[in-house]
């Protein structure tokens, strides 16, 4: 292709990075190839890298740049800042060659006519300086696009500048010149030195693209891979009100949607995660003044509402997977919704550069060995642990005082902070989400980061030692002092699967994507209890019969938690379905056996609004729990909500790898009643492949195993309760704790019997109790008895799998 100063998106593709830079090459690729598939990309043109070189050459400033950068020390913040400023001033002081200026103006007029064909645009010729002048014009985004950016191993996240709502000749030319100068921002210079790029070998193209009026709607970022775990079957979408810069720069805590790709591809509405962000501010067009955009407060009503609908999230996820399929690699995509037309657009796409490069055969686990006082908490990024002296910085002017190995604590970061981010032990910010600048850069640098704490700069004292832990799930904690931790690395290549299926016990959906990388045969026990206590927090009957909750404070809490839901029952169904769905998605298409709620009455009573619906029992452990609740008039409406959540996971999300399991089912008659209740609410055993298992944790389950096998599809041995009820021991009593032992011969005999009876009835039987996780000899006993599967705590899976493999030999 002949090199030009202006190239339209329709003239360029992904192979033209040397001509128009990574960002613009990708826009051209999508405009040419994906627009016809229904993905909307706003039109525009590139001021080429050759135009940049021409600008530098015609103004004879390349020698000035070499001279200024000679002897540069990027480790010295003041030295770096002074030299960067001088280079930028040289570029900003230069003038556009007349022919380049005219070419830009002509292209801008042409773009303006595309979007406003009825309007008459006039170019005025200035005889004095032989230049074109142009009144008015389309509102455009002006973005830098470096010729070495957005490569598979270098994200150049925010290294150069972008300018939004640029209108008219003067603003456009100034924005392009500022983009040229931004090739030499402090962070860009420092980044190139680290990556080994020659400053003058890299040129800059500038993209001029029609603005999407997301200032009147919303915008955000989506990744076609989970940004924390590297789980490749998920699309993660972040969104907020207004223009997208606030999300990228971490100024807001955004909404988040997680979509499961394999079931989405089959046409299901597989949103398996959904979180409402606080979204306090939004970036909009300025009215008057020198700035083109300004931040304004978001109304309380909008803060409490998601910035896009579920249908729009699913549409974006579908577009994301199409873009990923086209590029054949995980992608980082920016999107925007036009508030006037209501249409969604993709405004940028680049390769994801962190998780897609990770070594998948080595499992690295950071394990905190002790706990301390939690100073603050937020969204965990990176899965690691870092520690050091806290350096609380409230203004970018203070970054020169930051020392290597300190923990950076600030409101938020932007690209100007990168020279110190790369020497930090960890990063903690008040604002921002998982796709903010701080999150993206810390992932690339491989350091732990906690974003969106809201109060880190107040709670963490400058100069005090802290431990930043991102290794405890989705919520990260900043602890007081230096705490002990270890890093455990396991090479997964050498681990061979055993004949006995090794499954996992999983309760926390936030950890499911991470846990999926451990060798496994699925989930033998997914517990509802964590989802209810952590995500829902409210007693289901308090949502069904809100009018019966008399406590004013509890009523207020319920209203606050269920904000955005007119029907409070739907809140319970949605949140339970999302939690279960995320676990099922993580292990798809392997079996995930989900145990229906197994709280005791005293535990149910601790949920918000629970006291009004729970009796006081002397011995809740063998009281009103499990199956006996599900058909009881005092709880069956609560069980209905559980059934509807299960139905949503299977029918709406398409996650048919989910199996249901009934806990503490004392009699066969009780089992039949529960199955009848499930069928009333659309969960018919056998329909659409639904299997229903029963927990084997009461001696009656063993004695009548043949009869239970006639109404259930399989058994899962709960060794904790089976031991308790076989030996008549309260496992919580210190006085008789010495008697409690799963390896007691009476317990083993019952286990032996149920395995034999289940197999005779051609039913599968597994175990999900604690015993095989704690005792290898008990695991060996189970293998000898030919149990079908053993479900273990995640931290014991690899060790037990190796030992069972030896036993089987």
Give the tokens for residue 428.
Answer: 């903690």
Cα distances (Å, whole numbers) of residue 755 to 522, 663, 702, 715, 748: 20, 18, 9, 9, 11
CB atoms within 10 A of CB 120: 7
User: 738 catalytic, yes or no?
Assistant: no
Helix (H) or strand (E) holding 202: none
Taking 3-state DSSP, the helix, strand and coil percentages for the chain, each rounded to the nearest 5, stand at 40, 20, 35
Helix (H, G, I), strand (E, B) or coil at 526: strand
Report the b/e string of 575-593 with b at 16+ CB within 10 A: bbbbbbbbbbbbbbebbbb
CB atoms within 10 A of CB 267: 9
Give the tokens for residue 310.
Answer: 């579920």
97, 61 Cβ separation under 8 angstroms: no
46 has which bridge partners?
Answer: 7, 207
Distance CA 47, CA 175 (A): 12
DSSP label at residue 739 = G
Distance CA 25, CA 123 (A): 29
CB atoms within 10 A of CB 192: 22
**Nearest-5° Cα angle at 532, 527 to 537:** 160
Considering 5, 437, 477, 539, which one is annotated as catalytic? Answer: 437
Helix (H, G, I), strand (E, B) or coil at 502: strand
User: 768 catalytic, yes or no?
Assistant: yes
Report the b/e string of 651-676 with b at 16+ CB within 10 A: eebbbbbbbbbbbbbebbebbebbbe
Distance CA 164, CA 182 (A): 15
Query: How many angstroms separate the first and last alpha carbons of the chain?
Result: 64
Sign of the alpha-carbon torsion through 239, 240, 245, 246? negative
The catalytic residue positions are 437, 768
């Amino acid at each position: 292709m002949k090199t030009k100063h202006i190239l339209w998106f329709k003239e360029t593709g992904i192979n033209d990075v040397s001509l128009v830079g990574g960002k613009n090459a990708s826009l051209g690729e999508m405009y040419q190839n994906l627009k016809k598939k229904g993905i909307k990309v706003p039109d525009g043109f590139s001021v080429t890298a050759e135009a940049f070189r021409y600008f530098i050459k015609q103004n004879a400033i390349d020698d000035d740049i070499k001279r200024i950068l000679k002897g540069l020390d990027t480790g010295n913040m003041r030295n770096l800042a002074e030299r960067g400023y001088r280079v930028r001033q040289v570029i900003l002081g230069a003038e556009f060659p007349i022919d380049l200026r005219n070419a830009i103006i002509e292209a801008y007029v042409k773009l303006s006519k595309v979007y406003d064909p009825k309007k008459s645009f006039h170019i005025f010729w200035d005889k004095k300086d032989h230049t074109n002048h142009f009144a008015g014009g389309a509102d455009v985004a002006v973005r830098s696009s470096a010729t070495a950016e957005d490569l598979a191993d270098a994200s150049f996240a925010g290294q150069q500048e972008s300018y939004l709502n640029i209108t008219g000749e003067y603003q456009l030319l100034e924005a392009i010149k500022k983009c040229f100068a931004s090739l030499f921002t402090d962070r860009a210079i420092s980044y190139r030195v680290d990556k080994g790029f020659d400053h003058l070998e890299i040129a800059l193209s500038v993209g001029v693209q029609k603005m999407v009026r997301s200032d009147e709607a919303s915008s955000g970022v989506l990744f076609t891979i989970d940004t924390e775990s590297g789980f490749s079957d998920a699309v993660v979408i972040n969104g907020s009100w207004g223009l997208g810069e606030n999300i990228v720069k971490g100024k807001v805590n955004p909404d988040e949607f997680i979509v499961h790709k394999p079931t989405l591809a089959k046409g299901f509405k597989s949103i398996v995660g959904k979180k409402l962000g606080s979204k306090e501010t939004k970036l909009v067009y300025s009215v008057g003044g020198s700035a083109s955009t300004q931040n304004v407060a978001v109304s309380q009503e909008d803060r409490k509402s998601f910035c896009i609908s579920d249908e729009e999230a699913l549409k974006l996820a579908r577009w994301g997977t199409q873009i990923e399929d086209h590029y054949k690699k995980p992608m980082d995509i920016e999107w925007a919704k036009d508030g006037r037309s209501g249409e969604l657009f993709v405004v940028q796409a680049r390769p994801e550069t962190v998780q897609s490069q990770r070594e998948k055969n080595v499992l690295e686990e950071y394990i905190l060995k002790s706990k301390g006082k939690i100073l603050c908490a937020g969204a965990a990024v990176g899965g690691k642990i870092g520690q050091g002296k806290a350096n609380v910085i409230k203004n970018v002017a203070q970054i020169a005082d930051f020392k290597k190995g300190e923990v950076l604590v600030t409101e938020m970061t932007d690209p100007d902070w990168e020279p110190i981010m790369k020497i930090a032990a960890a990063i903690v910010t008040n604002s921002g989400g998982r796709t903010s600048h701080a999150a993206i850069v810390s992932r690339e640098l491989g350091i732990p980061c906690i974003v969106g704490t809201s109060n880190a700069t107040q709670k963490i004292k400058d100069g005090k030692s802290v431990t930043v832990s991102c290794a405890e799930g989705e919520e990260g904690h900043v602890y007081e002092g230096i705490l002990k931790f270890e890093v455990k690395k396991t090479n997964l290549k050498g681990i061979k699967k055993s004949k006995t299926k090794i499954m996992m016990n999983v309760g926390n959906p936030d950890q499911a994507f991470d846990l999926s990388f451990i060798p496994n045969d699925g989930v033998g026990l997914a517990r509802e209890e964590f989802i209810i206590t952590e995500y829902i927090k409210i007693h289901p009957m308090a949502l069904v019969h809100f009018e019966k909750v008399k406590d004013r404070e509890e009523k207020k809490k319920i209203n606050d938690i269920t904000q955005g839901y007119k029907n409070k029952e739907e809140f319970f169904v949605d949140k339970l379905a999302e939690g279960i769905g995320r676990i099922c998605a993580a292990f798809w298409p392997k079996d995930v056996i989900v145990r229906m709620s197994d709280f005791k009455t005293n535990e149910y009573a601790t949920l918000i609004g629970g006291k009004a619906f729970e009796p006081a029992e002397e011995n809740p452990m063998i009281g009103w729990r499990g199956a006996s609740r599900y058909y009881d008039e005092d709880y069956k409406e609560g069980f209905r909500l559980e059934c509807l959540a299960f139905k949503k996971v299977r029918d709406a999300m398409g996650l048919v790898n989910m199996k249901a399991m009934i806990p503490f089912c004392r009699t066969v008659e009780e089992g039949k009643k529960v199955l009848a209740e499930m069928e009333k609410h659309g969960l018919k055993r056998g329909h659409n492949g639904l299997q229903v298992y029963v927990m084997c944790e009461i001696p009656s389950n063993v004695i009548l195993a043949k009869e239970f096998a006639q109404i259930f599809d399989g058994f899962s041995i709960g060794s904790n309760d089976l031991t308790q009820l076989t030996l008549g021991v309260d496992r919580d009593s210190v006085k008789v704790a010495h008697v409690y032992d799963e390896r007691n011969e009476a317990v083993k005999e019952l286990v032996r019997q149920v395995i034999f009876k289940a197999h005779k009835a051609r039913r599968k039987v597994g175990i999900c109790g604690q015993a095989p996780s704690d005792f290898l000899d008990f695991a060996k006993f189970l293998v000898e008895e030919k149990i079908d599967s053993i479900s273990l705590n995640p931290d014991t899976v690899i060790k037990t799998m190796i030992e069972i493999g030896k036993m089987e030999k």
